[in-house]
A and B are shown apart, each in its own frame.
Chain A
Amino acid sequence: EAQVTQNPRYLITVTGKKLTVTCSQNMNHEYMSWYRQDPGLGLRQIYYSMNVEVTDKGDVPEGYKVSRKEKRNFPLILESPSPNQTSLYFCASTTSGGANIQYFGAGTRLSVL
């Protein structure tokens, strides 16, 4: 079954404590992205990756890092989380060949105290 798996689903942490949200896809897609979703602001892209070792900033990259060492994994790293990073985060994996349909993970709800 085609899947994008994010972990953890829920996370409560404190300001400044480094955390990583993992994302894995089993569809052999080259393109992956991270979004955050906030009330009234919709979905905003944080970072994306067009292939292994190729990553680029989206619309709201400040305070985030990503890596793409393998095609299937695309972790999101918050080196020093702050309360304004409290949000619902989604990883997505995208088909290629023109359609560009995105498959989303179930989401990670992060609270930074």
Chain B
Amino acid sequence: SQQGEEDPQALSIQEGENATMNCSYKTSINNLQWYRQNSGRGLVHLILIRSNEREKHSGRLRVTLDTSKKSSSLLITASRAADTASYFCAYNNAGNMLTFGGGTRLMVKP
């Protein structure tokens, strides 16, 4: 089900710039994840942050989580044209079910 909201819905930047995407959710969570989807392809897991963590890094990705505000952000630094894709947050509050946000379409212009 889609109970997370992402913003912006679309983002266009130049290569080399940073891209920031935000995700808000409504329930308590165990963890929050970010996925990437290239056009028409399956989603690929990027990074997971647990509810007791505030920040996590993986390569050029930085994720923050603020459980008091029920929000997370994904920062991609020094973007590349190959980063062009849709990015989805997904959170897990109980069991195995993930709830996905609506996604942010990122375009990185060379």
**A interface residue numbers (CB < 8 A to B):** 4, 31, 33, 41-45, 48, 50, 58-59, 88, 90, 92, 94, 96, 98-107, 109
- Bound together, the chains give a CA A13 to CA B11 distance in angstroms of 36
Are A94 and B48 in contact, with the CB atoms below 8 A?
Answer: no
Contact partners of A107 in chain B: CB under 8 A: 40-42
Are A99 and B48 in contact, with the CB atoms below 8 A?
Answer: yes
B57 within 8 Å of A (CB atoms): no
B contact face: mostly helix, strand, loop, or mixed: strand
Residue of A nearest to B33 (CB): A101
B88 within 8 Å of A (CB atoms): yes
Task: Tell me whether A104 and B44 are in contact in the complex, defined as CB-CB below 8 angstroms, given that A41-B2, A43-B88 are known contacts.
Answer: yes
Are A44 and B44 in contact, with the CB atoms below 8 A?
Answer: no
User: Min CB distance, B46 to chain A, in Å?
Assistant: 10
Are B96 and A43 in contact, with the CB atoms below 8 A?
Answer: no
Are A100 and B2 in contact, with the CB atoms below 8 A?
Answer: no
B107 within 8 Å of A (CB atoms): no
Contact partners of A94 in chain B: CB under 8 A: 96, 98
Please tell me which one of the listed residues A59, A98, A104 contacts residue B42 in the complex, with CB atoms under 8 A apart: A104
- How many interface residues does B have (CB within 8 Å)? 23
Are A102 and B90 in contact, with the CB atoms below 8 A?
Answer: yes
**B interface residue numbers (CB < 8 A to A):** 1-2, 30-31, 33, 35, 40-45, 48, 88, 90, 92, 96-98, 100-103
A contact face: mostly helix, strand, loop, or mixed: strand
Are B43 and A104 in contact, with the CB atoms below 8 A?
Answer: yes
Residue of B nearest to A40 (CB): B102
User: Min CB distance, A102 to chain B, in Å?
Assistant: 6
- Leading 4 A-B pairs by shortest Cβ distance: A104-B42, A31-B96, A42-B2, A42-B102
Are A106 and B42 in contact, with the CB atoms below 8 A?
Answer: yes
Please tell me which one of the listed residues A43, A92, A101, A106 contacts residue B41 in the complex, with CB atoms under 8 A apart: A106
Contact partners of B103 in chain A: CB under 8 A: 42
Contact partners of B45 in chain A: CB under 8 A: 101-103
Subset of 11 A-B contacts with CB under 8 Å: A4-B42, A31-B96, A43-B43, A48-B96, A94-B96, A98-B30, A100-B96, A102-B35, A102-B98, A104-B43, A106-B42
